[in-house]
A = this chain, B = another copy of it.
Amino acid sequence: MIRVDALFELCEKLGIGFFCFHDRDIAPEGATLRETNVNLDRAVVHIQDHLKTSPVRLLWGTAALFSHPRFLHGAATSPNPDIFAYAAAQVKKQMEVTKELGGSNYVFWGGREGYETLLNTDSGLEQDNLARFFQMAVAYAKEIGFVGQLLIEPKAFEPTKHQYDFDAANSLAFLKSYGLDPYFKFNIEANHATLAGHTFQHELRYCRINGKLGSIDANQGDPMLGWDTDQFPTDAYQATLAMWEVIQNGGLAPGGLNFDAKVRRGSFAVDDLFIGHIAGMDSFALGLLAAAKLHTDGLLADFLARRYAGWREGIGREIVEGRADFCTLESYILDREPAPHISGRQEYLEMLITQAIAGCLA
């Protein structure tokens, strides 16, 4: 349970502008959902009081649909319709709360939406139900006038053996299959990306080129470990590549950077909580400086422009403009030696990143 006072104190002391929370983080469950909602309302009043005087704002709200045993077989994808109803009512309430508190986004993380074994799972029905759930959420947001961005946060597995929102692409395929893609963007978490077998930058890039980069959970995992370690981010390379994508995306608003991170179990001193946040903020600040330097220097962009120059003229332009087909392309190439390649220069480009980082504090 998070104490609201402590939350605001931490944010204000560290100069953190935004906070995020699960409904169950700030108030305990009651005997019924009705009682639980009353408990929640009480904590919300405390937040409202703080918001009157604090510069801190709510980045996003979300409902915890994973810890309680009622969700052990899923929430919107539970085989038990009562649990679907429970999850729906819980999201309804938390969406209201998020609106009330001026939240900029609402996040869905489906930690139990998946399966433990395909042997006991009707995946078709479960995915249809998940879509029904999101359709209801979209309708309800409209009904109450919640204009924040709806965000899905993909995760490959853990706690569930396999989650339907495995990665951004899996989630996009799902949204498109059910006509839901206009209403959602993604909240990308670094450690969730790596669990899915992708780099953090890959998931950010994938979202960016698909117009779906909504917000970021800025943590890091351990590439040797197969679970979500939720470490505070301290790797300047990851931060630089992430901020590079953010810059190319033209920023991230109304999303932001959230530390879905916890200090290591062994870092139990009070000041470790501050140090962890500082380490994370400094890393992303350094990453932003380095990415901005790369952007201003223009070496990466120039390299790309040269590498893809062929698409702005000749046969490349014909292809891009839709004036080529298999027959014209065959005529073009059948007796021709293809134009020579340009080296991909991976080593040189990686060196640029190190130079940008190592020169930042000069």
Taking Cβ atoms with an 8 Å cutoff, the residues of A that contact B are 32-34, 37, 69-70, 72-73, 79-86, 88-89, 91-93, 116-120, 122-125, 127-129, 132, 136-137, 139-140, 156-158, 161-162, 166-167, 169-170, 172-174, 176-177, 194, 196-199, 201-202, 205-206, 209-210, 222-227, 232, 234-237, 241, 263-269, 272, 275-276, 278-279, 282-283, 286, 300, 303-304, 307-308, 310-311, 314-316, 319-320, 322, 324-327, 329-330, 332-339, 341-355, 357-362
Question: When the two chains form their complex, are residues A82 and B196 in contact, meaning their CB atoms are under 8 A apart?
Answer: no
- Chain B residue numbers with a CB within 8 Å of A223 are 194, 223-224
Question: When the two chains form their complex, are residues B209 and A120 in contact, meaning their CB atoms are under 8 A apart?
Answer: no
Question: When the two chains form their complex, are residues B173 and A341 in contact, meaning their CB atoms are under 8 A apart?
Answer: no
Q: Which of B319, B351, B352 contacts A81 (CB 8 A)?
A: B319
Question: When the two chains form their complex, are residues A79 and B342 in contact, meaning their CB atoms are under 8 A apart?
Answer: yes
Question: When the two chains form their complex, are residues B79 and A125 in contact, meaning their CB atoms are under 8 A apart?
Answer: no
- Chain B residue numbers with a CB within 8 Å of A316 are 81, 84
Question: When the two chains form their complex, are residues B354 and A234 in contact, meaning their CB atoms are under 8 A apart?
Answer: yes
Q: Which of B80, B174, B278 contacts A339 (CB 8 A)?
A: B80
CA distance A90 to B177 in the complex (A): 32
- Chain B residue numbers with a CB within 8 Å of A341 are 70, 72-73, 80, 268
Question: When the two chains form their complex, are residues A232 and B347 in contact, meaning their CB atoms are under 8 A apart?
Answer: yes
CA distance A333 to B33 in the complex (A): 8
Question: When the two chains form their complex, are residues B286 and A119 in contact, meaning their CB atoms are under 8 A apart?
Answer: no
- Chain B residue numbers with a CB within 8 Å of A232 are 347
Quote the shortest CB–CB distance from A24 to chain B (angstroms).
Answer: 16
Q: Which of B89, B156, B199, B357 contacts A334 (CB 8 A)?
A: B89
CA distance A236 to B169 in the complex (A): 31
Q: Which of B157, B161, B196, B300 contacts A119 (CB 8 A)?
A: B300
Question: When the two chains form their complex, are residues B308 and A344 in contact, meaning their CB atoms are under 8 A apart?
Answer: no
